[in-house]
Amino acid sequence: MNDYIKTDEFLEFLEDNRDRVWIFIDTETLGFNADKHQMTEVAAKAVKFDGISCKEMDMYHEKAKLLSVTRLRMSRPFRGKGMSYQDIMKMTNYGEPIKDREYIEEQQMLAGVFKFVNKFHEPIIVAHNSSFDIKYLNTRHNLYFSNKDPYNDYDVLDTLKVMKKYFTSMVATEAKRYKHRWLTDKDKQGILEMRRIRKSLQKKKKKRMSLKLGNVAESLGISSEGWHSAKFDVETLISTTERMLELFMDNAGKELRPEKYFL
């Protein structure tokens, strides 16, 4: 029994779902407990993949006003672990204006993004570490509306899982190849590029490849400045996915050994 995989598996998935709308989505929240901490921002962009790049169809982006319970918690001294609300708001650029619009109520924002997703026929929701975003969207939606857990009805593609299975395998396998003299210049450059990507993802000389969106984007030459803003993260995720698919196509048909070291 061998333990090889091929990026062709994902390319086949891509081909099988080419006619479907892909909705890239990202949320910003004030914590990890969806029952307790409100959502402050959501961005979603609907695209069609034409085999080379994602073509934008429509976009939804809103930021939510702070709830009274959020303001109450902020008025008290912070004694918890991790980041305070104020720290998170600074990191996610909360408070910056949205062009020509005011911040809206969280309930209105959640209704808007659900309406946006629901207007497309059988879309695929795409998110990085999608379990967090889907859980948060469902839980906050359930606080205001009667149709419970509506996002469970959609197919979801988690780019983090795709990267763990295919991207790290491709980078690790190709980076370990020797630059034999009979290889083409293109192949030699491909090996050097994979070595550069691997080195970029192995932060602080660790063996593990960090698959945080900002880290992967930077390793692929995509700016991650503005990371942790939902609208920017959606754009970054689309660009990162396009570049990753391009590399998959360049390495189609190759046997890749799964990488054990990833985050």
Quick one: 54 and 71 in the same domain? yes
Are 224 and 218 in contact by the 8 Å Cβ rule? The answer is: yes
Q: Is 263 a residue whose pLDDT tops 70?
A: no
> Which tens digit of pLDDT belongs to each residue from 229-241?
899 999 999 999 9
Quick one: 168 and 128 in the same domain? no
Q: Return the C-alpha torsion angle 137, 48, 118, 162, nearest 10.
A: -30
Q: Which of 39-43, 76-80, 221-225, 253-257 has the highest mean pLDDT?
A: 39-43
pLDDT band, very low/low/confident/very high, at 261 (cuts 50, 70, 90): low
DSSP 6: -
Quick one: 97 and 154 in the same domain? yes
pLDDT band, very low/low/confident/very high, at 260 (cuts 50, 70, 90): low
Q: Long-range contact list for 29-32, CB < 8 A, 24+ apart? A: 29/88, 29/136, 30/70, 30/85, 30/88, 30/89, 31/88, 32/132
pLDDT band, very low/low/confident/very high, at 36 (cuts 50, 70, 90): very high
- How many structural domains are present in the chain? 2
Exposed, middle or buried by CB within 10 Å (0-12, 13-18, 19+), for 170?
buried
Q: What would the mean pLDDT of 124-128 be, rounded to a whole number?
A: 97
Quick one: 62 and 166 in the same domain? no
- Rounded to whole angstroms, what are the CA distances from 252 to 7, 158, 179, 245? 6, 21, 19, 10
Looking at 120, 137, 158, which one is the last position of a domain?
A: 158
Residue 142 φ/ψ region, left for φ over 0, alpha for ψ in the -120 to 50 degree band, beta for the rest: alpha
Looking at 112, 131, 158, which one is the last position of a domain?
A: 158
Quick one: 151 and 172 in the same domain? no
Looking at 101, 130, 158, which one is the last position of a domain?
A: 158
Task: Output b/e per residue, 159-169; b: 16+ Cβ within 10 A.
Answer: bbebbbbbbbb
Q: Is 81 a residue whose pLDDT tops 50?
A: yes
> Which tens digit of pLDDT belongs to each residue from 38-75?
999 999 999 998 877 889 999 999 999 999 999 999 99
- Which domain, by its residues, includes 33? 20-158
Strand partners, 228: none
Exposed, middle or buried by CB within 10 Å (0-12, 13-18, 19+), for 60?
buried
- Hey, what are 215's tokens? 């880290």
Q: What is residue 7's predicted lDDT score, i.e. its pLDDT?
A: 87
Q: Is 193 a residue whose pLDDT tops 70?
A: yes
Pairing of β 39-49 and β 155-158 = unpaired
pLDDT band, very low/low/confident/very high, at 1 (cuts 50, 70, 90): very low
pTM: 0.92
Give φ, ψ of 95 to 5 degrees: 110, -20
Task: Output b/e per residue, 104-127; b: 16+ Cβ within 10 A.
Answer: bebeebbebbbebbeebeebbbbb
DSSP 229: -
Quick one: 46 and 89 in the same domain? yes
Quick one: 127 and 186 in the same domain? no
